[in-house]
Structure 1
Amino acid sequence: MNDRNRFYIESLGAPKFKSPLELSTLKGDHIFDFIRESDKLVFDLSMEHYQHCLEKGEEPLCLEKAGPRQDLFFDSENTTAAIVTCGGLCPGINNVIRGLVMALHYFYGVKKIIGVPYGYEGLNPEKGHELVKLTPEKVKDIHQFGGTYLGSSRGAQDVSVMVDTLQDNKVDMLFAIGGDGTLKGVNALGEEISKRNAKISVVGIPKTIDNDIDLIDESFGFETAFDVASPIIRDAHNEATGAYNGISIIKLMGRDSGFIAASAALAMPVVNFVLIPEMDFSLDGEEGFLKVLEKRLQKKKHAVIVVAEGAGQQLFKDRKIVKDASGNIQHEDIGVFLKEKIAEYFKGKSPVTIKYIDPSYIVRCAPANSSDSVFCSRLAYQAVHGAMAGKTKFVASRVNNRYVYVPISEVTKKRKKIELEGEFWFSVLQSTGQPFSLG
């Protein structure tokens, strides 16, 4: 597939049914228009790319616009949908579940909606989890709570067994809410479904509190995460200033990417150091972290440090690689490590008071804030529109602030990370006053 077809969205076949949505096809009538298959959005908005396309006479790389289609692949009243939530918890999961159910039921008249309990385990009969019926009445209030109404789990299940379960229950479309591992799993389900020539649409809705899904603007729950973390940082600052040479260390989630830590520091600009997985730093030496921290204390008599869970892993000697059920490397506790090393460094030099705070599981279990609630509902609606049109193996997402469909295979090629030469990280450094490098 050439680069211009990089974002091609697969379809189960030609549309056969008319949409029950009473939308328009005319501009200017003040009614929302159906999205046409020819509606595309340019991916790279840079002048450099624009000039390149002009000079080469090439069409720009485009994404498929999300939204309701006039012609559908599935007959609304005879469609069965399933929803599964996998991986770690994240604010907004229940909002997405609710949005999917409401859109399926009220927009399209889908009568049978199945909830898959405890992640992909729920698609393996050997695990003994019973599928549950989802209705608007059951899910109408779940958006007020964090966690997931359906339960979750980590780890893969046999793809063939899971597809058997979907077929045995006559499922026409599966909505999988999850991060990198979940999306890779749902793509594998789509591949198996294609091999069987079955007509089941599989759709991913990107969920990761770390905001590390590639290509997309943002994953839901991320904004709530640093929103919830902000008052914790504020209080940690109060704790630090309340003691002579007071130091507060706050560890936030961020296994491979430091977006939560960096964004929280910008949102609550009392942070003096942000340590993230993308940066290498040393503890020792004249330019090392401990010496820079010492200079900070000499001037201001307090310091607030925000560290992402995946930061500084290179500092652990004789580290053994251990992976969790999702295949992610389990990191050493950088927060406890920093506390110990700081105490050791200042022992005999000057008195310090160190407070270590790890609010990670409180943050990820919080209900979505207003902004994320809006985002979750809109993602759910776009996912349903795409599935009803017979599109498959895609994620509903936002790119360049527009809602689009992106192939799952594209967003799972690599993790999104903070660019250390980018303006966002520069803003963090300007806010904290920390050096460009430590060590």
Structure 2
Amino acid sequence: MSRFKIENLGTPKVASPLQLSTVRGDNIFNFINDKDQLVYDLSLENYNQCIENNEPPACLEKAGPRQNIFFEPKNVTAAIVTCGGLCPGVNNVIRGVVMALHYFYGVKKILGVPYGYEGLNLEMGHGFMELTPDKVNDIHQFGGTILGSSRGGQSVVVMVNTLVENSIDMLFTIGGDGTLKGANAIGEEIQKRGLDISVIGIPKTIDNDIDIIDKSFGFETSFDIASPILRDAHNEASGAYNGISIVKLMGRDSGFIAASAALAMPVVNFVLVPEMHFNLYGENGFLENLKNRLDTKHHAVIVVAEGGGQHLFEKDEVRTDASGNVQHDDIGLFLKQKIGEYFKDVYPTTIKYIDPSYIIRSSAANSGDSVFCSGLAYMAVHGAMSGKTKFVVGRVNNKLVYLPIKAVTKKRKKIDLESEFWFAVLQSTGQPFLM
């Protein structure tokens, strides 16, 4: 089986209600065929290797509406669940899925699952929320999720029983790595029982750490909102002689928000991310580099991702949250303490610490993310209606495609410290390659 092959519930035999075209040149959008494939690795090296080995390149299935669909729309009951931490754009995706199901395909029964996977355990007593176009019409203007969310899993057997008992034909799961793994487990239980229920993933992680896909929704909004905060942090730092501002941004295992925010607002002098190992002390350590900065410019702005510098803590045991994510110690407060101790006997400094994480993640999506969210939602619905299952919709090489959930959950995406992206960050900040 191909690495990126998408599973189907069966042969699509129902004519799509969408009035689209099958010919080029008539100025009407064309149905997408499953044979419409996009090459994953676009490098010349991969191209030459495929020719040399006489093998086809790894390809991705293009997202979009199919001419024949699997489900009879008038009989469909769909459900939407949001899991994990908040992220800008969740309400946009909910709205997009509801609107596409209702107006594109004529689906009349759409259920919202309250408080994450807890809502699929009826013993929790949350019930369901009926979603209609009127109900979701304005929710894109607000952050958070109208369905509520939670961390942690529930019994896969119990959740599938709930889907069966409520005659749910498709489950749209909006969440990050843990949510998607849970969705895949639900899909496997469905497959084991021989049921015709589609499971769809729409990747949600503010940290942008889902593997393979270009970016996840909410990420652009996160560093957009962080940018003016960094500007204000710079104002605080430069307003005092030897002033230091420390801004902690989200990024448990990947530092994309911190790095991107620093590029978007180039007043940052140090970016510390989980991918880099740095020393506090020593001739080229962080604190000595910070002193050199203060000696010449008399102010500094430091941006640190929440998962940065965890190697500096002495830990007796690894703590995890309900989703199985490692709980990190507060690197922001740690740096403030260590910087204060270091400069105590050197010269006076003024240190300001700012943590806007929960303000950022609960904000409404910006215009760029709003457009992206709608596209993801629409393509997720098209894939679900055609009977595809255990897949996510994402952007790869700037094209929307379908990917098996297993393909994107094997590992977390991280910053490549030898990439042009990270080199741009170092050029912007002026910090050394290694500390």
CA distance in 2, matches of 1:273, 1:396: 35
| Cα displacement (A) at 1:57 | 1.8
- Paired position in structure 1 for 2:227: 230
State the SS of the aligned residue for 1:216: coil
State the SS of the aligned residue for 1:344: helix
CA distance in 2, matches of 1:310, 1:318: 14
| Cα displacement (A) at 1:318 | 3.4
| Cα displacement (A) at 1:320 | 2.9
- Paired position in structure 2 for 1:196: 193
- Paired position in structure 2 for 1:297: 294
Q: Residue deviations 1:150-204, cap 9 Å, x none?
A: 0000000000000000000000000000000000000000000000000000000
- Paired position in structure 2 for 1:82: 79
State the SS of the aligned residue for 1:418: coil
| Cα displacement (A) at 1:319 | 4.4
- Paired position in structure 1 for 2:391: 394
- Paired position in structure 2 for 1:52: 49
1:127 to 124, 127, 133: 124
CA distance in 2, matches of 1:57, 1:337: 55
Letter in structure 1 aligned against 2:351: I
2:333 paired with 1:336: yes
Matched residues, number: 435
- Paired position in structure 2 for 1:105: 102
State the SS of the aligned residue for 2:119: helix
- Paired position in structure 2 for 1:309: 306
Stretch moving more, 104-113 or 53-62: 53-62
| Cα displacement (A) at 1:54 | 1.5
| Cα displacement (A) at 1:317 | 1.6
Letter in structure 1 aligned against 2:329: E
Q: Residue deviations 1:205-255, cap 9 Å, x none?
A: 000000000000000000000000000000000000000000000000000
2:429 paired with 1:432: yes
2:273 to 262, 272, 276: 276
- Paired position in structure 2 for 1:382: 379
| Cα displacement (A) at 1:118 | 0.2
2:177 to 175, 180, 202: 180
2:351 paired with 1:348: no
2:208 paired with 1:211: yes
Letter in structure 2 aligned against 1:61: A
CA distance in 2, matches of 1:253, 1:102: 31
CA distance in 2, matches of 1:228, 1:421: 27
CA distance in 2, matches of 1:395, 1:211: 15
CA RMSD of the aligned region, Å? Answer: 0.5
CA distance in 2, matches of 1:177, 1:238: 38
Letter in structure 2 aligned against 1:313: Q
- Paired position in structure 1 for 2:114: 117
User: TM-score, structure 1 length as denominator?
Assistant: 0.99
CA distance in 1, matches of 2:345, 2:281: 17
CA distance in 2, matches of 1:364, 1:318: 28
Letter in structure 1 aligned against 2:224: D
Letter in structure 2 aligned against 1:79: V
State the SS of the aligned residue for 1:174: strand
CA distance in 2, matches of 1:208, 1:436: 28
CA distance in 2, matches of 1:172, 1:328: 30
Stretch moving more, 309-318 or 277-286: 309-318
1:36 to 23, 33, 36: 33
Q: Residue deviations 1:6-43, cap 9 Å, x none?
A: 00000000112000000000000000000011100000
**Which consecutive segments of 4 or more residues in structure 1 shift more than 4 A?**
none
State the SS of the aligned residue for 1:15: coil
State the SS of the aligned residue for 1:150: coil
Q: Give identity over the alignment, percent.
A: 73
Q: Residue deviations 1:384-439, cap 9 Å, x none?
A: 0000000000001100000000000000000000000010000000000000011x
Stretch moving more, 314-323 or 8-17: 314-323
Letter in structure 2 aligned against 1:397: G
Stretch moving more, 122-131 or 311-320: 311-320
2:281 paired with 1:256: no
